[in-house]
């Protein structure tokens, strides 16, 4: 047998090798040349210490870890990939139902002629997402990825049709409802030559999404099929841009709307004018009973079919993120206005490098509600719930934010950012605890000193004054960086004026981050205060913790 094998080897292999050098090799070589594999990975782990003063709980496992890794293979029009996730066990603040590990994301897709088809898991969005969006946010611990079929059709340039059909991820399983949807978008500029010349474009779109869930309810007749549908229009003329989207949802008595039979509706308008040196942005939004999920019994951050982000500005300075707004899908009406401009270099106020100023004001209120019938209280289960005139504001304030940020580079050595935030936050509506409305004023100073070309020191001083909740805080930060590899940070948040004297504690926190190309490792140690992280329309409560944590990210 071995001999025979050897003979084969002697004759055929050289022949094949020879052959392969010619034609076969070109085919394989082309295949190999087009083959690309890439991916990324992240590991977050923390060693926890019990800290009764700040309320950090005892963690029986002592250390917890969340991790993921993506691998994507592409070859020309073909692509396939998967993501592994492990939560052993889920870190504090993440939903404990993530416990375990597996491959929640696996797909194959190809593009052929006018079709772009994905089978398996996919992320997709119609318009701004008011009728449909599947997305993933690792820091938030949110993933409502679809499993099923996604198709995008481009019959001619300027027309896009999308279709989705599948079920949504629910931790390590799928939600009970089937989600089906279609979306079409038409861009006029591709068909009208004058538009192109004049830099004008009109884009119109429409979408229809339907959910099916078998339902059993002894008291109420619950619709098994629930649809949302919407239209959108975007008008662009040079520096002007106006976008409007309106959607409706048919009656959908479910866990989050107190099982009322009212129809839902949502309107979003965004307008901007900008030209080099100045940008103005206005947006308005009204939501009424727009919570839409693939399980009528689901509550919390799971199985959302549509995406309803907050329109308020997202802040980054620590004390300004204390009280962030979270969308109220059941009803809210509000507006946001922002202006950003640069005072020219060389002018009196602009100085040598110019001065940048950003202003923002937003306010969100409840929608006005009145009884459907005189003797039926508002929001009564099994009724139409309430009547709500479209443009009438409710009298309850949910959130208000007025802020200014000024950025000025003084010289080659110094840059200063000054900011001030005044935030009013309805804790009962947004968080569910009754501390009433919390009013906070937050001044911030952020100074960067460029010591050498690659070494710099950054100082942050922040203060928050409030007479509600935990009262006043003060915060300081020092960051030393050696570009492009090292960043050392030390900070302390001090709740010096807490009404309970024992809670007047320091939250010390230090970290070292090292970057090499597209890989980064960060080690940190210290206390982290309890708080809320909100991204888009979703918020996550983060409990207080104390301990050593490590984050490793890399991509290839």
Residues from 40 through 99 that contact another protein (CB under 8 A): 40, 42, 70, 72, 74, 79
- Least CB distance to another protein at residue 138 (A): 8
Complex with another protein: residue 306 or 495, whichever CB lies closer: 306
CA–CA separation, 466 and 436 (whole Å)? 13
DSSP for 134-174, written as a single string:
--EETTTTEE--EEEEEEEE-SSTTEEEEEEEEEEEETTEE
Site string for another protein, 347-366 (x = CB under 8 A): ------xx-x-x--------
Site string for another protein, 285-324 (x = CB under 8 A): ----------------------x-xxx-xx-x--------
H or E element in which residue 341 lies: strand 331-343
CA–CA separation, 94 and 142 (whole Å)? 9
Q: Does 29 bind another protein (CB under 8 A)?
A: yes
- Least CB distance to another protein at residue 317 (A): 8
Binder among 38, 387, 392, 467 for another protein (CB under 8 A): 38
Site string for another protein, 108-137 (x = CB under 8 A): ---x-----------xxx-xxx---x-x--
CA–CA separation, 92 and 524 (whole Å)? 16
- Least CB distance to another protein at residue 212 (A): 24
Q: Does 540 bind another protein (CB under 8 A)?
A: no
Complex with another protein: residue 113 or 502, whichever CB lies closer: 113
Complex with another protein: residue 419 or 464, whichever CB lies closer: 419
- Least CB distance to another protein at residue 199 (A): 7
Binder among 75, 263, 274, 468 for another protein (CB under 8 A): 274
CA–CA separation, 539 and 180 (whole Å)? 26
Complex with another protein: residue 13 or 224, whichever CB lies closer: 13
Complex with another protein: residue 32 or 349, whichever CB lies closer: 32
Contact range with another protein by CB under 8 A, out of 89-97, 163-171, 279-287, 389-397: 279-287
DSSP for 421-483, written as a single string:
EEEEEEHHHHTSS---EEEEEEEEEEEEEE-SSSEEEEEEEEEEB-SSTT--EEEEEEEEEET
User: 534: how many CB neighbours lie within 10 A of its CB?
Assistant: 21
Complex with another protein: residue 19 or 496, whichever CB lies closer: 19
- Least CB distance to another protein at residue 258 (A): 27
| Cβ atoms of residues 415 and 407 within 8 Å | yes
Site string for another protein, 412-441 (x = CB under 8 A): ------------------------------
CA–CA separation, 188 and 140 (whole Å)? 38
- Least CB distance to another protein at residue 290 (A): 14
Under rule CB under 8 A, which residues in 6-25 are in contact with another protein? 8-9, 12-13, 16-17, 20-21, 24-25
Binder among 10, 28, 173, 461 for another protein (CB under 8 A): 28
Whose CA is closest to 314, among 447, 469, 421, 464? 421
Complex with another protein: residue 297 or 314, whichever CB lies closer: 314
Complex with another protein: residue 47 or 123, whichever CB lies closer: 123
CA–CA separation, 439 and 426 (whole Å)? 9
Whose CA is closest to 163, among 171, 153, 175? 153
Q: Does 341 bind another protein (CB under 8 A)?
A: yes
The single-letter DSSP state of residue 370 is B
| Cβ atoms of residues 146 and 179 within 8 Å | yes
User: 485: how many CB neighbours lie within 10 A of its CB?
Assistant: 13
- Least CB distance to another protein at residue 497 (A): 27
Complex with another protein: residue 341 or 525, whichever CB lies closer: 341
CA–CA separation, 504 and 471 (whole Å)? 10
Q: What share of the chain is helix, strand, coil (3-state, %, to 5)?
A: 10, 55, 35
Whose CA is closest to 379, among 394, 391, 400? 394
416 Cβ contact list (under 8 Å, min separation 6): 407, 408, 409, 410, 445, 446, 447, 448
Binder among 153, 340, 447, 532 for another protein (CB under 8 A): 340
* The pair of three-digit structure tokens given for residue 221, joined into one six-digit string: 């007749």
Under rule CB under 8 A, which residues in 188-247 are in contact with another protein? 189, 199, 201, 203, 234, 236, 239, 241, 243
Under rule CB under 8 A, which residues in 444-473 are in contact with another protein? 448, 450, 452-456
432 Cβ contact list (under 8 Å, min separation 6): none
Complex with another protein: residue 241 or 251, whichever CB lies closer: 241
- Least CB distance to another protein at residue 450 (A): 6
Site string for another protein, 495-534 (x = CB under 8 A): ------------------x-xxxxxx--------------
Under rule CB under 8 A, which residues in 385-414 are in contact with another protein? 407
Specify the residue for token string 């969100």: 364
Complex with another protein: residue 55 or 517, whichever CB lies closer: 517
Complex with another protein: residue 283 or 388, whichever CB lies closer: 283
272 Cβ contact list (under 8 Å, min separation 6): 240, 241, 279, 280, 281, 282
Complex with another protein: residue 232 or 262, whichever CB lies closer: 232
């Amino acid at each position: 047998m071995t001999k025979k094998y050897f003979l084969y080897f002697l004759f055929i292999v050289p022949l094949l090798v020879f052959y392969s050098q010619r034609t076969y090799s070109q085919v394989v070589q082309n295949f190999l040349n087009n083959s690309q594999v890439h991916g990324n990975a992240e590991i977050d782990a923390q060693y926890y210490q019990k800290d009764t003063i700040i309320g950090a709980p005892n963690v029986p496992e002592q250390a917890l870890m969340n991790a993921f890794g993506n691998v994507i293979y592409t070859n020309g029009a073909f692509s396939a990939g998967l993501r592994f996730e492990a939560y052993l066990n889920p870190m504090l603040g993440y939903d404990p139902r993530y416990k375990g590990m597996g491959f929640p994301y696996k797909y194959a897709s190809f593009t052929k002629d006018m079709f772009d088809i994905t089978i398996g898991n996919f992320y997709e969005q119609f318009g701004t997402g008011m009728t449909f969006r599947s997305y993933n946010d690792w820091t938030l611990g949110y993933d409502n990825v679809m499993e099923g079929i996604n198709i995008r059709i481009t019959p001619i340039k300027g027309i896009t049709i999308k279709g989705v059909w599948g079920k949504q991820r629910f931790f390590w399983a799928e939600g009970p409802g089937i989600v089906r949807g279609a979306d079409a978008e038409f861009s006029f500029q591709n068909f009208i030559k004058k538009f192109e010349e004049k830099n004008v474009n009109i884009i119109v779109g429409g979408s229809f999404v339907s959910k099916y869930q078998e339902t059993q309810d002894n008291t109420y007749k619950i619709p098994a099929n629930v649809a949302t549908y919407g239209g959108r229009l975007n008008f662009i003329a040079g520096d002007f841009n106006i976008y409007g989207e309106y959607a409706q949802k048919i009656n959908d008595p479910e866990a989050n709307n107190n099982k009322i039979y009212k129809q839902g509706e949502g309107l979003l308008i965004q307008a901007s004018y900008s030209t080099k040196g100045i940008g103005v942005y206005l947006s308005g939004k009204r939501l009424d009973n727009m919570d839409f999920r693939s399980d009528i019994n689901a509550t919390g951050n799971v199985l959302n079919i549509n995406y309803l982000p907050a329109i308020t500005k997202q802040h980054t300075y620590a004390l300004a993120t204390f009280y962030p707004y979270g969308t109220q899908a059941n009803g809210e009406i509000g507006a946001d206005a922002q202006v950003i401009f640069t005072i020219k270099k060389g002018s009196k106020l602009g100085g040598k490098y110019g001065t940048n100023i950003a202003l923002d004001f937003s306010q969100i209120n409840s929608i006005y509600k009145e009884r459907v019938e005189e003797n039926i209280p508002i929001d009564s289960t099994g009724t139409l719930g309430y009547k709500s005139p479209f443009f009438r504001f409710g009298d309850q304030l949910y959130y208000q934010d007025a802020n200014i940020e000024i950025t000025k580079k003084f010289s080659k050595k110094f840059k200063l950012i000054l900011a001030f935030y005044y935030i009013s936050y309805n804790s009962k509506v947004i968080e569910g605890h009754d501390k009433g409305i919390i009013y906070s004023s937050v001044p911030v100073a952020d100074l960067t000193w460029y010591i050498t070309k690659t070494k710099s020191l950054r100082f942050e001083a922040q203060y928050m004054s409030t007479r509600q909740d935990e009262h006043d805080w003060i915060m300081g930060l020092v960051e030393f960086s050696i570009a492009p590899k090292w960043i050392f940070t030390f900070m302390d948040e001090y709740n010096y004026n807490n009404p309970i004297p024992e809670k007047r504690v320091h939250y010390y926190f230090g970290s070292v981050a090292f970057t090499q190309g597209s890989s980064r490792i960060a080690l940190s140690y210290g206390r982290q205060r309890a708080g809320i992280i909100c991204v888009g329309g979703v918020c996550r409560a983060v409990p207080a913790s104390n301990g050593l944590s490590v984050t490793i990210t890399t991509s290839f």
